[in-house]
Copies of this chain bind each other. A is one copy, B any other.
């Protein structure tokens, strides 16, 4: 795989973001530096970066994927407002080897629930 400024930029944007951006958000951020970059290129690079395990794809309930840097943490996702909260404090399960004869490469954990803010709103009703 070749190095391109487009792919480097996509990776940098994700690594420097704390907001788990969507492809479209990444695209608009890219345009600030490469005016004529295309959305197709952003999608293609997101897919290849995921395959290379340099970033993570987050599947959201509304079918719009979000992307995240590759660091050891898990997510709490609010089912009311879709807020994503990063959680670093827990012991993360680590299946490093084999399950049966299947090779495990990654263990994805996400917590789902209702965030503090939404709980408060519901209490007020």
Chain A interface main SS type: strand
A residues contacting B by CB (< 8 A) are: 57, 59, 61, 63, 76, 78-79, 85, 87, 90, 93, 95, 99-116, 119
- Given contacts A76-B99, A76-B104, A107-B112, 19 further A-B pairs with CB under 8 A are A59-B59, A76-B102, A79-B105, A85-B100, A93-B109, A95-B111, A99-B113, A102-B113, A102-B115, A102-B116, A102-B119, A103-B114, A104-B113, A105-B113, A106-B112, A106-B113, A107-B109, A107-B111, A108-B108
CB closest chain-B residue, reference A78: B102
Q: Which 3 A-B pairs have the closest CB atoms?
A: A59-B59, A101-B116, A104-B113
